[in-house]
């Protein structure tokens, strides 16, 4: 398996993977909307070395901290792994590589809404420890941050804002 940026040829396979993984078209639609936004979506796939099949997908998108537009923050939007590849480290490899690419693009931190038990393995911790809150109503322990460049976040507190595509998704109870 190897991880690489998605291509236009991967989009249908990614869409199918997202629908299968989340049980709805909602996340796939959100990723399509994020692709249409010129805001530097990072979209990576894990591809089988044997047959070229897409085994997993991860997407990161820029997010904004109120009052700190100069601060580079990236949001881990979603991760999906094919049933046949679960437990093989595909999701972990995608998240790790996505954080490397995010840092290369200037991100000081990665934000996600997710399960603390899962994301702790990647160094995520509650974002409220740094004075950050989510624009959406979400349990505090599920709004997480992974610092990539800790010094850039010093003195920066406030509300994290997501791209418009997330608004519809959040309204449906993400």
Q: Is 12 helix (H, G, I), strand (E, B) or coil?
A: helix
67-93 confidence digits (pLDDT tens) = 888 888 999 988 999 999 888 999 999
- Using the Cα atoms of residue 95, residue 113, residue 5 and residue 12 in order, give the sign of their dihedral: positive
136 C-beta neighbours (distance < 10 Å), count: 18
The pLDDT, as a whole number, for residue 1 is: 93
The radius of gyration of the chain's CA atoms, rounded to the nearest angstrom, is: 15
CA–CA separation, 147 and 129 (whole Å): 12
What's this model's pTM, rounded to 2 decimal places? 0.90
Asked: is 2-171 a CATH 3.40.1390.10 domain? The reply is: no
Do 15 and 72 form a contact (C-beta atoms < 8 A)? no
20-32 confidence digits (pLDDT tens) = 999 999 999 999 8
């Amino acid at each position: 398996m190897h991880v690489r940026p998605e291509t236009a040829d991967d989009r249908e396979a990614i869409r199918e993977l997202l629908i299968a993984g989340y049980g709805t078209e909602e996340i796939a639609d959100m990723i399509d909307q994020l692709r249409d936004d010129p805001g530097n979506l990072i979209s990576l796939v894990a591809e089988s070395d044997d047959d070229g099949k897409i085994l997993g997908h991860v997407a990161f998108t820029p997010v904004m901290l109120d009052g700190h537009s100069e601060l580079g923050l990236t949001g881990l939007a979603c991760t999906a792994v094919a049933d046949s590849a679960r437990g093989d480290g595909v999701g972990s490899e995608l998240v790790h590589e996505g954080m490397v690419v995010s840092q290369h693009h200037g991100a000081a931190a990665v934000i996600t809404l997710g399960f603390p038990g899962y994301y702790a393995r990647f160094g995520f911790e509650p974002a409220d420890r740094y004075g950050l809150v989510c624009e959406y109503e979400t349990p505090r322990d599920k709004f997480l941050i992974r610092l990539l460049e800790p010094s850039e976040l010093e003195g920066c507190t406030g509300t994290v804002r997501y791209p418009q595509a997330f608004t519809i998704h959040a309204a449906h109870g993400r």
